[in-house]
Structure 1
Amino acid sequence: MTLPAPAAPFGRALCAMITPFSPAGDALDLPGAQKLAAGLLSGGCDGLVLNGTTGESPTTTDAEKTALVRAVREAVGPGTPLVAGVGSADTAHTVELALAAERAGADGLLVVAPYYSRPPQAALEAHFRRVADAVSVPVMLYDIPVRTGVRIEPETMLRLSEHPRIAAVKDCAYDLLGSAGVLARTGLAYYAGSEELILPLRTAGGTGYVSTVANAAPGELRAALDAYDRGEVAEATRQYRRTLPLVELMMAAGLPGTVTAKALLNALGMPAGPVREPLQPAAAAVTEALLTAHHDLTAQG
């Protein structure tokens, strides 16, 4: 037997979508973003996360962030979950971004822990509560201490779960024990933000994932979840394992996932464009390896 399907406020299979840019990288490619979004949804994604880490949020302007949400909402219609990344190192600015994203059509907000200043847990809690108090859509907390320098500790998660609009967590903490403990004591929907933990987190009661790799392999990535939810544990394991070579190349080979995702999408003829500095494009040999792994994955059943 498998665990029953948990609450899924934004669906189960979410793509952390790249932000397509013009060839020079100085403007958004909004038609490309609309095309990519539609293809991801038809390819197996339940919803999309825009303006996150993979979406290069540190190098897009506030106006670009809002324009991207509005354009993708126009393309996918009202029934598709769109979660907008609105986190920053400044609480007041985060609230401004949250309100703008909600007005632009976001169904939910991805709020990362404030980075660089490394606030203590009481300040973290106050930050998230202030954002959640300001909006009327659900909030997904983004726990990624390797980038922010601060963990949202399990006890803080427990307190934040009591807020009526804090509904979910994007979990990149690499602490399955801590995550499982919060899952056992709250109604928070946990989404794996690290592809290698998609199936392990689901078996602990998680909801699904927010994935960078889904930009290039949306259907293949969700196959493990689908098999698990059908009660086919051996098939879920098989599907999970066959994604790992591409996951390793895209997420654990020394380059940011944004760089590898854009390299692969460009090579596949999909809208992507360049990365913005300080990121640099992947080398030709990296792109060739990505293409080979992608072909091997998508050619399998």
Structure 2
Amino acid sequence: MGNKGSQFAGVTVALVTPFKDGAVDEAMLRKLVDWHVEVGTDCISPCGTTGESPTLSHDEHERVIAIVCEQAAGRVKVIAGTGSNSTAEAVRLTERAKADGADAALMVAPYYNKPTQEGFYQHFRTVADTVDFPIVLYNIPGRTSKNMEPETICRLAELEQVVAIKESTGSIDQASAILADCDLTLLSGDDSMTLPLMSIGGSGVVSVAANIVPREVKALVSSFAEGNAAQAKQMHCKLFPLCRDMLSLSTNPIPVKTAMRLLGHEVGDVRLPLVPLTEVEIATLKRTLGSFGVMG
């Protein structure tokens, strides 16, 4: 386990953004924060991919983070999504999140413009030099189109502000290289990879499934952290079909928002260009939720 960023170990929920009549549903957002405090989620991460940050306006993005920080009120840590493919905007969002009382910034690698490895380094270094605030790197080449190589990540780990990484490459080799060569706290960015990554030194997960079954995700992480690998494996196998549906039925967060509505959390639908699940996909999801035991 990395020494840096260990305060962010455990379960961080990649929080959905609830919508109602086309706008952010602020009352529901506050309810979700209260629910995660109640069930023991360790951290909340608003305005990531699962929070539909690409289709939030700048005002909405800042408002969602402010509400989550205000409602959390120190009862649960907040790792605010402040990444951008514009370095100046990433600085601005991070400054705002710090002012609003977040505990750290979750910063995705700049997407679409495909920086070089030096570009990645200078991007994060600029934010770190400008804002004295803990940064959790987020590497997800499936969405950004470019991998941040382990060497770049370990170079960034030398910066005091860079404390952890959300690892979403799906590569045990990449995660192993990071854990071998720097002291960052490593968090899984994919629910199905949580146990494999913890087995090589990871410290938890930034979880989509925790929007639906936070207690069960916490049970997996806690079991392994406490040395009960057999129980963690049991939870992994129980959670796997649900984790698989969250990513394979359709693009995240379409399935998780659908599941939340089916289970009584009125979070609204996704925004275009994302579209709802088909009836066939909904039937599959209902079967999975039924098998898991959360839906009759």
Interval of TM-score (by shorter of Structure 1 and Structure 2): over 0.9
1:289 aligned residue (276, 284, 289): 284
* TM-fit CA distance, 1:179: 1.2
Amino acid at match of 1:82: V
Contact 1:110 1:140 in 2 (8 A): yes
* TM-fit CA distance, 1:296: 2.6
Matches within 5 A, 1:40-119: 40-119=36-115
1:163 aligned residue (155, 159, 175): 159
Query: Counterpart in 2 of 1:20?
Result: 18
Amino acid at match of 2:214: P
CA distance in 1, matches of 2:53, 2:82: 9
Aligned Cα root-mean-square deviation (Å): 1.9
Contact 1:9 1:167 in 2 (8 A): no
Amino acid at match of 1:80: V
Contact 1:54 1:212 in 2 (8 A): yes
Query: Counterpart in 1 of 2:255?
Result: 260
**Deviates further, 278-287 or 194-203:** 278-287
Amino acid at match of 1:270: H
Deviant stretches of 4+, over 6 Å: 3-6
- The question of 1:274 aligning with 2:269 is answered yes
Contact 1:5 1:207 in 2 (8 A): no
Query: Counterpart in 1 of 2:180?
Result: 184
Query: Counterpart in 1 of 2:35?
Result: 39
**Deviates further, 121-130 or 243-252:** 243-252
- The question of 1:131 aligning with 2:141 is answered no
CA distance in 2, matches of 1:64, 1:192: 27
Query: Counterpart in 2 of 1:238?
Result: 234
1:190 aligned counterpart, secondary structure: strand
CA distance in 1, matches of 2:72, 2:185: 24
Distance verdict in 2 for CA 1:139–1:112, change over 3 Å: same
**Deviates further, 167-176 or 7-16:** 7-16
Q: TM-score, normalised by structure 2?
A: 0.94
1:198 aligned residue (194, 211, 220): 194
CA distance in 2, matches of 1:142, 1:228: 23
Distance verdict in 2 for CA 1:41–1:285, change over 3 Å: farther
Unaligned runs of 5+ in 1: none
Distance verdict in 2 for CA 1:87–1:151, change over 3 Å: same
Query: Counterpart in 2 of 1:224?
Result: 220
Unaligned runs of 5+ in 2: none
1:257 aligned counterpart, secondary structure: coil
CA distance in 2, matches of 1:117, 1:256: 22
Amino acid at match of 1:264: A
1:102 aligned counterpart, secondary structure: helix
Distance verdict in 2 for CA 1:257–1:41, change over 3 Å: farther
* TM-fit CA distance, 1:186: 1.5
Distance verdict in 2 for CA 1:40–1:283, change over 3 Å: farther
CA distance in 1, matches of 2:62, 2:2: 36
2:158 aligned counterpart, secondary structure: coil
**Deviates further, 262-271 or 7-16:** 7-16
**Percent of aligned positions with the same letter in both sequences?**
34
CA distance in 1, matches of 2:67, 2:89: 22
